[in-house]
């Protein structure tokens, strides 16, 4: 269980929703050497970068053997690449660089859940690379009035991604970004909305714990700064519900 805090300190976020065992770090270009960026020891770091540079090799080499780190090239590539084949070619090249530099560092693929709806670029499976160590998904549901929030087991984009992975001989390993129920000016928080979010949390916990291949479930506990949309769990009931999941 994990979380990503962007507008909260690690300590405050952990008090509110429970101490994360996994989190995300984001770079456009990797630095030359590895750093935990203030994240406590013992927390799995899933490190995403988007631009291939000469730093990839030095960064991978600098990751100590006792650090729990996974690298991801260009998460949610479906939004940025003109074709799956072009992305997969670059992904494979980056994976080979990392494995040559540090064979013990897992190299993971993170898909964008939006892209696995009908008519979207990932629906045909062309963005899924052949040899990633783990296959994750970033998955958000705004929920128009929150009535449309769905458990993952009934979410068409999640299930499409899982079926595509299975057809290619892979398994879905969890959510690297997970948000359920956005709060904005059009959808202020209500008791009914909180209740629906908690129902989805409970259903998803049952479902994900039934899948032995799930390794990561990370809540996106932050505000979207450009729009002001609130994914962060600000109400006590939602915080308590996630904290209970995170500490089981």
In the chain, domain spans: 2-246
- Does pLDDT of 231 surpass 90? yes
d(CA 214, CA 1): 10
Domain 2-246 fold is TIM Barrel (3.20.20)
3-state secondary structure of 23: strand
Mean local confidence (pLDDT), 170-191: 92
Over residues 7-44, the pLDDT tens digits come to: 999 999 999 999 999 999 999 999 999 999 999 999 99
Contact, 225 vs 214, CB < 8 A? no
Which regions of 66-224 does DSSP assign to beta strands (E)? 69-73, 107-112, 134-141, 174-180, 216-221
pTM over 0.85? The answer is: yes
- β-pair type (107-112, 69-73): parallel
pLDDT at 145: 60
Over residues 133-157, the pLDDT tens digits come to: 999 999 999 876 666 799 999 999 9
Contact, 28 vs 51, CB < 8 A? yes
- Does pLDDT of 70 surpass 80? yes
């Amino acid at each position: 269980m994990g979380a990503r805090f962007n507008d909260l300190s690690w300590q405050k976020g952990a008090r509110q929703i429970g101490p994360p065992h996994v989190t995300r770090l984001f770079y456009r270009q990797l630095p030359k050497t590895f750093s935990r960026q203030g994240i406590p020891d013992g927390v799995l770091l899933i490190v995403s970068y988007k631009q291939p540079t000469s730093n990839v090799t030095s960064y991978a080499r600098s990751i100590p053997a006792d650090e729990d780190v996974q690298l991801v090239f260009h998460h949610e590539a479906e939004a940025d690449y003109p074709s799956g084949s072009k992305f997969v070619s670059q992904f494979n090249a980056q994976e080979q660089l990392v494995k040559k530099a540090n064979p013990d560092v897992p190299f993971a693929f993170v898909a964008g859940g939006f892209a696995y709806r009908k008519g979207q670029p990932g629906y045909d499976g062309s963005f899924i690379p052949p040899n990633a160590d783990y296959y994750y998904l970033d998955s958000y549901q705004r929920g128009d009035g929150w009535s449309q929030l769905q458990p993952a087991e009934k979410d068409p984009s999640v299930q499409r991604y899982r079926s595509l992975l299975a057809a290619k001989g892979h398994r879905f390993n969890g959510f690297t970004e997970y948000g359920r129920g956005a709060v904005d000016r059009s959808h202020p928080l209500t008791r009914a909305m909180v209740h629906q979010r908690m129902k989805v949390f409970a259903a998803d916990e049952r479902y994900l714990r039934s899948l032995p291949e799930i390794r990561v479930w990370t809540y996106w506990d932050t505000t979207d700064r450009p729009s002001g949309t609130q994914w962060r769990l600000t109400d006590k009931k939602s915080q308590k519900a996630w904290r209970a999941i995170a500490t089981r």
